[in-house]
Structure 1
Amino acid sequence: MKPRYLLNFMFIIIVYASLTFYIGWNGWVWLHTAYDLNNKWIYGFIVGLISCSYIIGHFLKGVPLFKIIGSYWFGLFQYAILFLPLSNLVAFLLILTGLPTTSVIYWVGGAVFLALVILFIYGTYNAYSPVVRTFSLVIPKQVGELKELRIAMASDMHFGRLSGIRHVRRLVREVNALQPDIILLPGDIIDDDPVPFTQKKMGNVMKDLSAPLGVFGVLGNHEYYGGGIPTFLQEMERIGINILLDQVIKVGDSFYLAGRKDKTDSNRLSIENLLVDIDPTHPIIMMDHQPAEITQAQVNNVDLLLSGHTHRGQMAPNHLITKRIFENDWGYLQKSQLHTIVSSGFGFWGPPLRIGSRSEIIQIDITFVNSGNSGIYK
């Protein structure tokens, strides 16, 4: 490891450990004062174990409890860092007014705990209760008899331990209820490792996704992280989901569907090379997991670009970060002839929490016309 990377890694570890200590110290002061908790060594060990659980779970894949605990810890970690400095300031000011220290710690700590509980309940509801967002587009291209097309799109399901088989059933039920012509899944279908997906037989449920023109998907970054792409592709083939790997196909002899490998793959084709033999007078729909190359898609005559990846930050205020990173981090954006739609995702990464975002399915109704301006109607 290069010295610069080693120093960066050490810096991150020190900052993380310091923030974890800060959270743990606040918890100890409250529990010790309000509930007379006395064994600080056992408490410290438990906090340390929880803070390392996600990493432990990565190596002990046969013990999923660690990864589950670690996932929830990420949510607690973020909001504790946001809430605790304010609560410390409030407690300090109240103590200065002469209120008993013990009472201040009890009530301020209790208020923080209650706020976190409410936030987790609200975030869990948002994560497991998807909504359907509808977009109606006009694309000034027409081929053959095709006048209209309904797409059902779902990205970032992250099916695995926490986004489990009941969430798969929700996806199948909600998507099929839309009666789509085609179903598109632009990446992160599984959460890293394909083993939980296959062990829980989620594919047997997912194969019930049904559309006359078929079900298609692409790889997301988490399929790469898991290192089990061959197993994943085999399972997708078994259940009738066609994963496009830098491929373009003609669907219904009416429009092109292009599917890119994820940006994680250094060997993926550029959009220009992928579409080199494509007739741009025909409609071109593209799936690209990360919405990082919108301008390239626009320049190369793509009509509709579908992406996910961002989760819209998943837990506010993270959306302020994704908004700065991506030209379109969520929702709809039009550039010349190009329509881009980025989904916040159907599932979640890490904690099953969505705050400031919502699990969603996208319905896209396209009308093809011979000429005129393209547009959107929501």
Structure 2
Amino acid sequence: MKIWFLLFLVLPLIGVAYTFWHTWQILPCSAPWKIAVLAVMALCIFCFFANFGIWTLDKMPMPVATVAYSVGNSSIFILFYLVMLFLLLDLGRWVHMVPADFLHHSIKGTLSVLLVMVGLFTYGYVHYRDKVRQPLTLTTSKKLERPLKIVMLSDLHLGYHNQIGEFNRWVNLINQEHPDLILIGGDIIDGHMRPLIEQNMARSFRNLKAPVVACLGNHEYYMGESAAIKFYEDAGIHLLIDSATMLKGVNIIGRDDRTNPGRKSLKQILDHVDTTRYTILLDHQPYHLEQAEQNAIDFQLSGHTHYGQVWPISWIEDAIYEDAYGPLQKGNTRYFVTSGIGIWGGKFRIGTRSEYLVAELKN
């Protein structure tokens, strides 16, 4: 709890104070205008904290809730990069590479910071919109009824920021692959059911032209797993919670998210599964990857990490997880931890990407 308190309250407030001080120093205008700029910045950052409990987004008109979510959750990423930029400029000043007057009442300094931030986050948004098709070839000596094309994705985070128009675009991308199966590794829902219900996103799921199988993620628990389960039923998604099914001659295992401390062990789930068939595991959070290898899983799909969404958080993810992003092999078990097709919070990808996997399973 102390670590989360530090990460989500203390450190952001220190970053706010540091950024506001530098902003006051660098702006080439009178005090009233500086106060106005800082007031706008403070309002944006306030929205981030308010979205988590000061107000209820679901009680606002949809356009207002969308703006509150987008502005608040984007501001924390912008704040993060402002802190890094000002730290870099301070370092440059200390080693006499940046003139001291560049950071004090400076038109040149203000325009430079503004251009860097606008350019960086315009790029980040455009890059987020670009969904990368990641091909994957899976071979097996186990019996297959026929070769299969399987689209795999995770972390859609449908909600106030990823709405129906965006999701329908993803549906079209998936259908263009003409898959035999569609597997989703959790976090379909961002945290609020209202946008999904009001925009009838369940109907869009039913436009997918292949069977859809999914497991739960941690965000389904944040917003209430019972409501998520009801939505999955309406959407025609085959939800696996510590259970298994066979489709197209392939075993698919769906583990409950590790948010539930009472979830079954992988060994318990596999008790009645014929692992002489090719077996795919959906497990949202990529912890304890050795368990899949120990239980003769052929392939595991995980998500959750988003690979940090923006650099250099991706470096922190690499330090936390055995595999924070991409393919891995342990023994005869193959893994892929995807950075996700959607995103949480601000719709920016800087140094990471949004993607979906197109796997060819064959002998």
Is the TM-score greater than 0.5?
Answer: yes
- The AA in structure 2 aligned to 1:250 is M
Asked whether the equivalents of residues 156 and 308 of structure 1 are also in contact (C-alpha less than 8 Å), the reply is: yes
Alignment of 1:78-227 (within 5 A): 78-90=80-92, 93=96, 105-143=106-144, 146-211=145-210, 214-227=211-224
CA-CA distance at 1:14 after TM superposition: 4.0
Give the whole-Å Cα distance in 1 for the aligned partners of 2:102 and 2:242: 66
Question: Matched residue of 1:111: which SS?
Answer: helix
- Name which of 22, 26, 36 aligns with 1:26: 22
Seen in structure 2, the aligned counterparts of structure 1 residues 18 and 300 have a Cα distance that, compared at 3 Å, is same
- Runs (5+) with no aligned partner, structure 2: none
Give the whole-Å Cα distance in 2 for the aligned partners of 1:262 and 1:191: 15
Give the whole-Å Cα distance in 2 for the aligned partners of 1:289 and 1:95: 46
Question: Matched residue of 2:272: which SS?
Answer: coil
Give the whole-Å Cα distance in 2 for the aligned partners of 1:303 and 1:96: 58
CA-CA distance at 1:121 after TM superposition: 0.8
**Counterpart in the other structure of 2:303:** 308
Seen in structure 2, the aligned counterparts of structure 1 residues 293 and 22 have a Cα distance that, compared at 3 Å, is same
Give the whole-Å Cα distance in 2 for the aligned partners of 1:307 and 1:39: 48
Question: Matched residue of 2:117: which SS?
Answer: helix
CA-CA distance at 1:178 after TM superposition: 0.7
CA-CA distance at 1:58 after TM superposition: 2.8
Question: Matched residue of 1:305: which SS?
Answer: strand
**Counterpart in the other structure of 1:353:** 348
Asked whether the equivalents of residues 25 and 103 of structure 2 are also in contact (C-alpha less than 8 Å), the reply is: no
Q: Deviations over 1:192-232 (max 9, x none)?
A: 12121111222222221111xx11111111111112x2222
Asked whether the equivalents of residues 87 and 112 of structure 1 are also in contact (C-alpha less than 8 Å), the reply is: no
Q: How many matched pairs?
A: 354
- Runs (5+) with no aligned partner, structure 1: 369-378
Asked whether the equivalents of residues 55 and 67 of structure 1 are also in contact (C-alpha less than 8 Å), the reply is: no
Give the whole-Å Cα distance in 1 for the aligned partners of 2:252 and 2:162: 28
- Name which of 37, 48, 51 aligns with 1:54: 48
Seen in structure 2, the aligned counterparts of structure 1 residues 276 and 85 have a Cα distance that, compared at 3 Å, is same
CA-CA distance at 1:106 after TM superposition: 2.1
TM-score, reference length from structure 1: 0.87
Give the whole-Å Cα distance in 2 for the aligned partners of 1:7 and 1:314: 20
TM-score, reference length from structure 2: 0.91
What is the RMSD computed on CA atoms of the aligned residues? Answer: 2.3
Asked whether the equivalents of residues 168 and 206 of structure 1 are also in contact (C-alpha less than 8 Å), the reply is: no
Give the whole-Å Cα distance in 2 for the aligned partners of 1:95 and 1:135: 47
Asked whether the equivalents of residues 151 and 359 of structure 2 are also in contact (C-alpha less than 8 Å), the reply is: yes
CA-CA distance at 1:301 after TM superposition: 0.4
Instruction: Compare 195-204 and 174-183 and name the one that shifted more.
Output: 195-204
- The AA in structure 1 aligned to 2:253 is A
Q: Does 1:363 align with 2:358?
A: yes
**Counterpart in the other structure of 2:231:** 235
Give the whole-Å Cα distance in 1 for the aligned partners of 2:43 and 2:191: 23
Asked whether the equivalents of residues 285 and 302 of structure 2 are also in contact (C-alpha less than 8 Å), the reply is: yes
**Counterpart in the other structure of 1:268:** 263
Seen in structure 2, the aligned counterparts of structure 1 residues 319 and 8 have a Cα distance that, compared at 3 Å, is closer
CA-CA distance at 1:334 after TM superposition: 1.2
Asked whether the equivalents of residues 298 and 338 of structure 1 are also in contact (C-alpha less than 8 Å), the reply is: yes
- The AA in structure 1 aligned to 2:215 is V
Give the whole-Å Cα distance in 2 for the aligned partners of 1:234 and 1:126: 33
Asked whether the equivalents of residues 333 and 341 of structure 1 are also in contact (C-alpha less than 8 Å), the reply is: yes
Asked whether the equivalents of residues 56 and 67 of structure 1 are also in contact (C-alpha less than 8 Å), the reply is: no
Instruction: Compare 338-347 and 19-28 and name the one that shifted more.
Output: 19-28
- Name which of 324, 331, 344 aligns with 2:339: 344
Asked whether the equivalents of residues 175 and 208 of structure 2 are also in contact (C-alpha less than 8 Å), the reply is: yes
Percent of aligned pairs with the same amino acid? 30
For the pair shown, the structure with the greater C-alpha radius of gyration is 1
**Counterpart in the other structure of 1:68:** 70
- The AA in structure 1 aligned to 2:218 is N
**Counterpart in the other structure of 1:291:** 286
- The AA in structure 2 aligned to 1:88 is D
Give the whole-Å Cα distance in 2 for the aligned partners of 1:155 and 1:230: 20
CA-CA distance at 1:329 after TM superposition: 1.4
Give the whole-Å Cα distance in 2 for the aligned partners of 1:91 and 1:37: 24
**Counterpart in the other structure of 1:36:** 30
Give the whole-Å Cα distance in 2 for the aligned partners of 1:15 and 1:134: 39
Instruction: Compare 302-311 and 67-76 and name the one that shifted more.
Output: 67-76
Give the whole-Å Cα distance in 1 for the aligned partners of 2:359 and 2:251: 16
Seen in structure 2, the aligned counterparts of structure 1 residues 271 and 106 have a Cα distance that, compared at 3 Å, is same
- The AA in structure 2 aligned to 1:191 is D
Give the whole-Å Cα distance in 1 for the aligned partners of 2:181 and 2:3: 49
Instruction: Compare 17-26 and 297-306 and name the one that shifted more.
Output: 17-26
